[in-house]
Amino acid sequence: QVQLVESGGGLVQAGDSLRLSCTASGRTFSIYTTGWFRQAPGKEREFVAGITRSSAYIAYADSVKDRFTISRDNAKNTVILQMNSLKPEDTAVYYCAAEFGGGGVYRRPNEYHYWGQGTQVTVSS
């Protein structure tokens, strides 16, 4: 069992940056593959970025590649999503998710068992 808490969301202007954090408690976080997803109003939850437990594999959605960076610090039980050059279309609730193990990055929401409560990111034009 692992509990996830996201933080760092907010209201920014287009072109600004935000740094989202996902902090875990409970079972050892280092054994979990972790992903960031987002969901805009009226849209399905979509994959943003993911990182395996040892950071050996990292993946990004095409829409955020070269703008977002995911990283993790297992000693601090934290996964970071650094978001640069934000666009209005990045506006959504951002969720952290974790799943035990993983030889690669999971991209589908139903592949993750544990979820945080989400943090709102709003980008104004």
- Name the residue among 96, 71, 92, 90 with its Cα closest to residue 82: 71
- Name the residue among 44, 17, 25 with its Cα closest to residue 98: 25
Q: Look at residue 26 in the predicted model and tell me its pLDDT.
A: 79
Q: What are phi and psi of 103, to 5 degrees?
A: -90, 0
Q: Look at residue 50 in the predicted model and tell me its pLDDT.
A: 97
pLDDT tens for the 125 residues of the chain, in order: 889 999 999 999 999 999 999 999 877 777 789 999 999 999 999 999 999 999 999 999 999 999 999 999 999 999 999 999 999 999 999 999 999 876 799 999 999 999 999 999 999 99
